[in-house]
Chain A
Amino acid sequence: MIRLFAKAAVAGLLAAALGAPAFAQTAPIPRLASGKPDFSGIWQTLSEADYDLEPHAGRRDAPPSPGVIEGGTIPYLPQALAQKRSNFEARGKDDPRLKCWALGVPRSVYYPAPFQIFQRDRDLTLVHQFGHQVRTIHTNETLHPTETDEGFWLGDSRGRWEGDTLVVDVTDFNEETWLDRAGDYHSDALHVVERWRFVDPDTIAYSATLDDKKVFSRPWTVDVLLHRRRDKNFQLIEDYCFTLEYEQYYPHKDGE
């Protein structure tokens, strides 16, 4: 650890010399024995991203937000914009989240429920409290599969390190998931590049750049912060809410 602290101290000095806020570098970030940043822990966004990625005033089903998209709005192709508007009108019943289904990527990261990262040198495992989504981000220099039968709900995630930033390339999606509660969506041509970087030991700056030539006219980027859940005794509590309609019949019950 001595070596790592020394490294952080040097980074702090450098940041100070470059005029960056030195306080952001004073606490060393957690690291694995390998020296890579260690994102292990329980994380959650404070942002309103899941309600609507774009800027919006408060409404019945969403608190207000300046939006989390660089440039403000999603660059939909004309036909896709019509689909998004249609989704928005039907959001009260068509959002897949309402069935407790897998939220996909990147929505699962900025959905307002905690998720836990378990990290080894070879991979990161993201266990989400909501539903049953578990994603593996491989960091063992493996590549995307050369062929897949059909797209994945979570895509296929392959990560690499650029300094202390984890860059994750996600492909091979299906077209079933939405991007937020406002009906923003994608096709099976979605390609996501995520960037995960510590701002301080308890905060991750997360960005996701989405490219989808069937839906968007150009790539666009979401930025949110993820905060470490530090509440006393906090732990993930399973939330398999897709069972709610039938769980009343078990064990051996006639229902309510």
Chain B
Amino acid sequence: MQRHVFPALIALVTAWAPAAIAQTQGQGQGIRFGKEVPAIASGSWQGPRLADGQPDVQGHWSNTIANHNNWTDPQAGAPGEPSRAAALPRDQRAPSRVSDPADGQVPYLPAARALQEDFARNFSNPTKPKYIEPLARCAPAGVPKSFIWHGYEIRQYPGYVLLLFNSGTRIIRLDGSPHLPDAIKLWNADSRGHWEGNTLVVEVTNNNGKALFGRTGDFASENVKIVERYVFDNDGKRYNYVATFTDPTVYSRSWTATIPARRYTEADPPDDGWHYEASVANRPGKPVLHERMERICVENNGPFGGGAVGVPLDHPVIDR
């Protein structure tokens, strides 16, 4: 285990943001983010298809705006840890991920807003376990945070879309089968999807609400129902993740988030440390091929970042 201590220490002395680790690794390119959210219309799919008829969107993808530091002001930095861009006028940073309502704010009920703000106030100096962002404990990033946490890979099969994230996996069934029973609540929820032209539509239930949306503490409860629309551009280079959240116990109305993403391919440098954690396959004499790296969080890192206590490393957590 000795060799794993080093990355954890890096995180402790630089910042308590896991992304800081990634920025110091790889080829030094850090995280490259833009400000724009391109419009991609739902419509027909003109691109390649798989044998079972699904649009072929397999490959590596990552969001183009920011990591999970801040849900509604994505490039402003985490609470208490403002980025340099935070000093600029608001319109010089990427817009809120909340695309509806128009004010860019999550329409919380008052009690829920108080909980979110309490988390944000305590994030940079957590004095209770609940103020530790769960991803810093290597929890699965959940829905929707997985889409703003490192690059990820989409693999497709007859009847399935498989999402392989940095922290956690989602199996989206396309077979019209019923959701899991209500009593089962999960970090990555339960997904049933279907294709409408260029758009993968996924109904997400059975969410345990625990993953949070990022370091600002934005959240849903276990009552949330999410309808995701993955709208793929016909050029195959981009897609927008557009998700509508309905949870009467937390929000005063349904609201929608938009997260733009772009594809990464062999034309991009592999192992850039954040968006594209791929390595070059060993196949001498053949064209360059990239492949996904092993993703193992808690075993390699334990808790990372100041205050991320409570991750058991030396005693059992199950007795089965």
Instruction: Report yes or no: A246 in contact with B129, Cβ–Cβ below 8 A.
Output: yes
Binds A, one of B95-103, B233-241, B275-283: B275-283
Q: Which single residue of chain B is at the shortest CB-CB distance from A153? A: B296
Q: Which single residue of chain A is at the shortest CB-CB distance from B173? A: A235
Instruction: Report yes or no: A132 in contact with B155, Cβ–Cβ below 8 A.
Output: no
- Does any Cβ of A come within 8 Å of B137's Cβ? yes
C-alpha spacing A145/B298, complex, angstroms: 24
Instruction: Report yes or no: A246 in contact with B137, Cβ–Cβ below 8 A.
Output: yes
C-alpha spacing A246/B295, complex, angstroms: 21
Instruction: Report yes or no: B171 in contact with A251, Cβ–Cβ below 8 A.
Output: no
Instruction: Report yes or no: A254 in contact with B130, Cβ–Cβ below 8 A.
Output: yes
With contact pairs A118-B160, A153-B296, A255-B129 given, residues A98 and B219 touching in the complex (Cβ less than 8 Å): no
- Does any Cβ of B come within 8 Å of A161's Cβ? no
Would you list which residues of chain B between 114 and 161 have a CB under 8 Å from chain A? Answer: 115-116, 118-119, 128-130, 132, 134, 137-140, 155, 157, 160
How many A-B contacts are there with CB distance less than 8 Å?
158
Instruction: Report yes or no: A249 in contact with B130, Cβ–Cβ below 8 A.
Output: yes
Q: What 7 A-B pairs have minimum CB-CB distances, sorted nearest first? A: A98-B316, A250-B210, A249-B130, A252-B115, A251-B219, A143-B282, A142-B281
C-alpha spacing A40/B162, complex, angstroms: 13
B118: chain A residues within 8 A (beta carbon): 252
With contact pairs A127-B171, A132-B169 given, residues A250 and B317 touching in the complex (Cβ less than 8 Å): no
C-alpha spacing A144/B299, complex, angstroms: 23
Identify 12 new A-B residue pairs, CB closer than 8 A, beyond the known A96-B299, A127-B162. Answer: A98-B317, A98-B318, A99-B316, A125-B155, A132-B296, A142-B289, A233-B178, A240-B168, A241-B317, A243-B137, A250-B134, A251-B212
11 contacts between A and B (CB under 8 A): A93-B315, A120-B155, A150-B3, A152-B296, A238-B187, A242-B317, A244-B318, A250-B134, A252-B115, A252-B217, A255-B130
- Does any Cβ of B come within 8 Å of A162's Cβ? no
Instruction: Report yes or no: A240 in contact with B180, Cβ–Cβ below 8 A.
Output: no
With contact pairs A144-B282, A237-B186, A243-B139 given, residues A99 and B317 touching in the complex (Cβ less than 8 Å): yes
C-alpha spacing A96/B312, complex, angstroms: 11
C-alpha spacing A176/B2, complex, angstroms: 11
Instruction: Report yes or no: A251 in contact with B282, Cβ–Cβ below 8 A.
Output: no
With contact pairs A102-B299, A238-B187, A242-B298 given, residues A125 and B168 touching in the complex (Cβ less than 8 Å): no
With contact pairs A99-B317, A240-B187 given, residues A246 and B311 touching in the complex (Cβ less than 8 Å): yes
- Does any Cβ of B come within 8 Å of A87's Cβ? no
Would you list which residues of chain A between 192 and 236 have a CB under 8 Å from chain B? Answer: 233, 235-236
A138: chain B residues within 8 A (beta carbon): 281, 291
Contact with B along A107-129 (1 / 0, CB 8 A): 00000000010111000010100
- Does any Cβ of B come within 8 Å of A136's Cβ? yes
- Does any Cβ of B come within 8 Å of A81's Cβ? no
C-alpha spacing A136/B164, complex, angstroms: 11
Contact with A along B1-42 (1 / 0, CB 8 A): 101000000000000000000000000000000000000000
- Does any Cβ of A come within 8 Å of B262's Cβ? no
C-alpha spacing A96/B142, complex, angstroms: 24
Would you list which residues of chain A between 136 and 187 have a CB under 8 Å from chain B? Answer: 136, 138, 140-146, 150, 152-154, 176
B51: chain A residues within 8 A (beta carbon): 33
Chain B nearest CB, measured from A59 CB (Å): 16
A249: chain B residues within 8 A (beta carbon): 128-130, 132, 310
Instruction: Report yes or no: B168 in contact with A132, Cβ–Cβ below 8 A.
Output: yes
Chain A nearest CB, measured from B306 CB (Å): 16
Would you list which residues of chain A between 75 and 122 have a CB under 8 Å from chain B? Answer: 92-93, 96-102, 116, 118-120
Instruction: Report yes or no: A246 in contact with B310, Cβ–Cβ below 8 A.
Output: yes
With contact pairs A118-B162, A152-B294, A176-B299 given, residues A145 and B279 touching in the complex (Cβ less than 8 Å): yes
With contact pairs A237-B180, A243-B140 given, residues A251 and B209 touching in the complex (Cβ less than 8 Å): yes
Instruction: Report yes or no: A240 in contact with B140, Cβ–Cβ below 8 A.
Output: yes
A3: chain B residues within 8 A (beta carbon): none
Instruction: Report yes or no: A251 in contact with B221, Cβ–Cβ below 8 A.
Output: yes
C-alpha spacing A100/B155, complex, angstroms: 25
Instruction: Report yes or no: B171 in contact with A132, Cβ–Cβ below 8 A.
Output: no
Would you list which residues of chain B between 29 and 71 have a CB under 8 Å from chain A? Answer: 51
Contact with A along B292-307 (1 / 0, CB 8 A): 1011111110000000
Instruction: Report yes or no: A134 in contact with B313, Cβ–Cβ below 8 A.
Output: no
B220: chain A residues within 8 A (beta carbon): 251
Instruction: Report yes or no: B162 in contact with A125, Cβ–Cβ below 8 A.
Output: yes
Instruction: Report yes or no: A118 in contact with B157, Cβ–Cβ below 8 A.
Output: yes
B85: chain A residues within 8 A (beta carbon): none
C-alpha spacing A20/B139, complex, angstroms: 51
Contact with A along B192-218 (1 / 0, CB 8 A): 000000000000000011111000010
Instruction: Report yes or no: B210 in contact with A247, Cβ–Cβ below 8 A.
Output: yes
Instruction: Report yes or no: B180 in contact with A235, Cβ–Cβ below 8 A.
Output: yes
Given B128, B279, B283, which contacts A254 in the complex, CB threshold below 8 Å? B128
Contact with A along B93-112 (1 / 0, CB 8 A): 00000000000000000000
Instruction: Report yes or no: B282 in contact with A250, Cβ–Cβ below 8 A.
Output: no
C-alpha spacing A102/B186, complex, angstroms: 19
Q: Which single residue of chain B is at the shortest CB-CB distance from A252? A: B115
Given A118, A141, A253, which contacts B130 in the complex, CB threshold below 8 Å? A253
C-alpha spacing A144/B284, complex, angstroms: 11
A176: chain B residues within 8 A (beta carbon): 1, 299
